[in-house]
Amino acid sequence: MKPTITARDLQYRGAYRLSTPLGNTAGLTFSPARGTWFTVGVRQKRFPLFEFTMPDDASWLPAPADPLIPLATAPAAVLVKNWGTFLADVIDPSQNDVFNVTWDEDSECLLVSYGDFYGEPATNDCLLGVDVACDPPAIRGPWCFGQGNTEFTQRWGYSQIAPAPRTFDHFGVRFLATGKDNSTFQSGSWGPGLLAITDVDPALPAHTILHAQQLMFWPAIKRPVTLDTGKVKSGFLTSAMQRSHPFWIIGGNTGATLGGAPEWRDVPYGVAQLEDGWSNGDDPGYFVAVDEPTCQGVIFFGNTSFGASWYGSPIEFADEHTPDPNSPTTWRSWSGITHPQTDRVLHSPIFPPDAGNPKGYVFDHQGGGKGNRCELVTHAIWIYALCDLQLALIDAYEPRPGLTAMNVDCTAFHVLASPLPLPNVRPITPALQYEHRVNAGPTSEVSYIPRVTGAYYRRGDSDRAGRIYVRMSSALGVETDAVNVFDIVTTEKR
């Protein structure tokens, strides 16, 4: 078996832009038969399907262009055709969102991955086909994953489906699928998860169960945690995932679990450090299955969190700033308060004091709304060996003690970009995180951190190296929708 791909094999080339109307859409895939790419608009746009050319395509005019940085100077993709919003006739935008598209070369059909964007799914259907050989396109499906008459929850495979490496042919597996947003959806894998899919036949009737097998899965577990105040939280929700860096959780005095209303009435607050597990900012929602002559493996692209995490507001533990007559301190403040019940401050474990936060209190440096919050989210990759995944497929993988064969550990983890020098991790592309903005002080603002919203692998040939395209979108707008480009270049003997 060929060596497993490493971060040293990934050479960052720069980026392309997805400008209006291609920006703020979901996923990306290439059709060799058509020589074009596809992406699909999100639910707020009623799922328009776009066909376009990437600047490194032979058909891109005036001539193919290399990716560049900074993003403002990068070549932009060119729209070929807007196929319209016909997908909204099948996928309910009030309940669901679209997360990725994949071109199936065998059937020459576009596969669209979708699912409930927040609540409990009304159905387990999470995949449909689109035949663009006709205009208007013909819908195939939708379908769900499962075994026999048993449907799997859509959380296990609703964010992406992609062709499996050719070495999986021996096992009768043609596709791999994954889910995302696991700290919101507790039925999903709290760590990179994979389904092995036997086949997707566009001729199958709607609501057919596509035969699938759980290949890799990390169930959510409740772990007892003792805060530094002595308070025991019996139900901290995490998983048995390994991690390369610790994280810290903040909890109040009341309740057995974290969460709820952690305002001043929940004082005193305590902090606990965890060396392993799954934090609320960890989310590896997209992957590529690399199969090159010199290396192979599965790479998950997503986000990972650093520092303290909690449930509540981005400014939950910032310095006093908003008057509140109902608070025992007269401030709507939950850290840095001087009160008999707390008499302590919560200093950031990773951010030093600065002009915007001179005392170095904990707060969310990305902004955003109330929910699962953490100090810092940055882009990361998790690399898995194909041999480990194939062993897991036949229940022969040997996990760490106490775990199952589906608890496959990654062979490597790397941070792609970070505004901080982080311990025990090696940034391989420190210029990758475009438009990173740290809020100047404890304010709740829109989060501008780019999130991974798609990944695609194009196998190399005699003319060019294998190439990975990683899409990152930001609330800054469509002009900050980037497709980051990595070439697979193995330069070392192994």
Domains in the chain: how many in total?
Answer: 1
Does the pLDDT value for residue 17 go beyond 50? yes
Domain of residue 150, residue span: 7-217+283-303+377-488
Taking CA atoms, 166 is separated from 103, 175, 289, 290, in Å, by 16, 10, 10, 10
Confidence of residue 379 (pLDDT cuts 50, 70, 90): confident
* Predicted pLDDT of residue 148: 95
CATH code for the domain of 116: 2.115.10
Radius of gyration of the chain (CA): 23
Residue 315, in any domain of the structure: no
What single string gives the DSSP state of each residue in 284-342? EEEEEEEE-SS-EEEEEEEEEEEEEEEEE-TTTTS-S-SB-TTSTTSB--SSS---TTT
Residue type, 191: G
Two structure tokens written together for 421? 């020098």
Is residue 364 domain-resident?
no
State yes or no: pLDDT of 212 exceeds 50.
yes
pLDDT score of 375: 86
> Mean pLDDT across the chain, nearest whole number?
85
Q: Is residue 269 domain-resident?
A: no
Please give the average per-residue pLDDT across 305-310, as a whole number: 90
159 belongs to a structural domain: yes
- Give percent of the chain with pLDDT exceeding 70: 83
Task: Note whether residue 125 is domain-resident.
Answer: yes
In tens, the pLDDT along 95-107 reads 999 999 999 999 9
Which pTM was predicted? 0.92
- Residue 319, in any domain of the structure: no
Does the residue 332 lie in any domain?
A: no
Q: How far apart are CA 55 and CA 65, in angstroms?
A: 5
Q: Which of 191-205, 261-275, 349-363 has the highest mean pLDDT?
A: 191-205
Does 359 or 204 have the greater pLDDT score? Answer: 204
346 found inside a domain: no
